[in-house]
């Protein structure tokens, strides 16, 4: 990361993040993975340590740091092997908070952002429904105007932070006949009647990740909860998704770094056929292949981070960052696990978690196939 950000200061911040995560997260992470969720108080701990929404402006309770600082928090969570938590924090800090900062009015910002910075409020965003994932325009959750309120009905699934969320940005149809122009976004206060959460979904990886079903049943929300303008929701989503995709890519490269570091250390320790695993030509070629794969993606993601910071990152380039970095992450996690042999397949070795936590990165935030479609459209035009 370069440009207008002082690299030395950024690295000092990174060191302080690592120190805090080693103290506050490392000792408990195994237990959280087993129980399938992090404790609610962890959000307050992370907030107190200055690790949430770090680029939120000072007048909204943040420290107004450059975007790069926010990325560092997610990257270190991912690199240190806390994949589920990196997803939870990314959604809160790098997806939900920017919607408020960029689109929210002053009252909405003051209502939620200071609490999100401190961890007093947890944020989530609910687009996906059982019948609408990649095809976002097919959502059926409805928000019908009733006097000064809207009445919300419908359900969402796969919602990160769904169990702990105090505020959920909900995408709903305000005009079902208007297609994409009929979608609006609402800042839904989860303490209001009519809101309920379903199961914390049982996933194959990212076990302590909070991923839930949500239900809205004749939920009355005030018109002041409308984010931006009615009917502009789809346009806002398209505008904000590049940041989400870029940050997922950044988590991918950081997680790959973590997996490589574990593997290099193991290869230098493990002995077989009277020599170190690291001396076998296959190991050397595999490490060379994966290190190169990592470096190429690191450089591209860093370039995109700087572009985003300058307001110059376009949607196809952000899609390239997500697509390339997450596919690389999965290639690297697989190659690394292979070098651990049977031990890599046991939960005792952290490389197994790096492998299993990586898989969803190619799915959420827009699948690799959707990324390719966006990229192809930018090159070839619509089919």
Ligand X SMILES: Cc1cc2nc3c(=O)[nH]c(=O)nc-3n(C[C@H](O)[C@H](O)[C@H](O)COP(=O)(O)OP(=O)(O)OC[C@H]3O[C@@H](n4cnc5c(N)ncnc54)[C@H](O)[C@@H]3O)c2cc1C
Active-site residues, by number, are 244
Interaction of residue 128 with ligand X, rule CB under 6 A: yes
- Shortest Cβ 45–ligand X spacing (Å): 22
Stretch that binds ligand X, among 15-23, 104-112, 123-131, 292-300 (CB under 6 A): 123-131
User: Who contacts 284 (Cβ-Cβ below 8 Å, separation ≥6)?
Assistant: 278
Q: How far is the CB of 203 from ligand X (least distance, A)?
A: 6
The answer to whether 253 and 327 have CB atoms below 8 angstroms apart is: no
Q: Compare residues 179 and 341 and give the one whose CB is closer to ligand X.
A: 179
> Could you tell me the CA-to-CA distances from 321 to 27, 181, 298 in Å, in that order?
32, 28, 10
Q: Which is nearer to ligand X, 125 or 332 (CB)?
A: 125
Is residue 169 within 8 A of residue 187, CB to CB? The reply is yes
> How many whole angstroms separate alpha carbon 264 and alpha carbon 284?
10
What is the four-CA torsion angle of 244, 213, 83, 74, rounded to 10 degrees? 30
Residue from 1, 54, 187, 370 binding ligand X (CB under 6 A): 370
* Cβ(86)–Cβ(356) below 8 Å: no
219 CB-contact burial (10 Å; exposed 0-12 / middle 13-18 / buried 19+): buried
Asked whether position 367 contacts ligand X by CB under 6 A, the answer is yes
Chain position whose Cβ is nearest to ligand X: 133
Identify the residue among 51, 56, 159, 255 touching ligand X (CB under 6 A).
159
- Candidates 39, 373, 376, 377: give the one binding ligand X (CB under 6 A): 373
* Least separation in angstroms between CB 362 and ligand X: 9
204 neighbors 130 (Cβ within 8 angstroms): no
Which segment (138-146, 182-190, 206-214, 233-241) binds ligand X by CB under 6 A?
A: 206-214
Chain positions contacting ligand X, by CB under 6 A? 91, 125-128, 133-134, 158-160, 203, 206, 209, 211, 360, 363-367, 369-370, 373
């Amino acid at each position: 990361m370069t440009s207008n950000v002082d690299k030395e200061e950024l690295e000092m911040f990174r060191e302080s993040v690592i120190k805090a995560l080693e103290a506050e997260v490392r000792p408990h992470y195994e237990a959280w993975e087993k129980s399938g969720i992090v404790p609610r108080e962890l959000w307050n701990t992370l907030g107190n340590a200055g690790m949430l929404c770090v680029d939120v402006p000072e007048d909204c309770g943040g420290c107004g740091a450059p975007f790069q600082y926010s990325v560092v928090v997610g990257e270190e969570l991912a690199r240190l092997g806390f994949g589920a938590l990196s997803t939870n924090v990314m959604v809160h800090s790098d997806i939900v908070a920017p919607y408020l900062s960029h689109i929210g009015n002053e009252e909405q910002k003051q209502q939620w952002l200071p609490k999100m910075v401190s961890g007093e409020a947890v944020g989530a965003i609910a687009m996906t429904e059982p019948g609408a994932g990649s095809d976002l325009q097919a959502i059926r959750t409805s928000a019908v105007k009733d006097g000064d309120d809207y009445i919300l009905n419908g359900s969402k699934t796969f919602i990160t932070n769904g169990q702990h969320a105090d505020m959920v940005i909900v995408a709903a149809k305000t005009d079902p006949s208007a297609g994409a122009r009929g979608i609006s976004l609402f800042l839904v206060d989860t303490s209001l009647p009519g809101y309920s959460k379903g199961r914390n979904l049982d996933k194959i990886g990212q076990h302590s990740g909070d991923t839930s079903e949500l239900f809205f049943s004749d939920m009355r929300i005030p018109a002041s909860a409308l984010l931006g303008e009615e009917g502009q929701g789809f346009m806002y989503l398209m505008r904000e998704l590049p940041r989400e995709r870029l940050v997922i890519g950044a988590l991918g490269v950081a997680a790959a770094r973590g997996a490589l570091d574990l593997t290099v250390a193991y290869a230098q320790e493990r002995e077989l056929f009277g020599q170190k695993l690291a001396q076998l030509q296959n190991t050397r070629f595999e490490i060379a292949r994966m290190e190169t794969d990592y470096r190429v993606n690191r450089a591209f993601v860093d370039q995109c981070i700087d572009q985003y910071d300058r307001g110059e990152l376009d949607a196809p380039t952000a899609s390239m960052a997500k697509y390339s970095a997450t596919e690389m992450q999965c290639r690297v996690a697989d190659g690394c696990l292979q070098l651990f042999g049977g031990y890599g397949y046991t939960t005792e070795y952290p490389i197994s978690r790096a492998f299993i936590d990586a898989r969803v990165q190619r799915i959420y935030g827009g699948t690799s196939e959707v990324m390719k479609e966006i990229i192809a459209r930018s090159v070839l035009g619509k089919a």
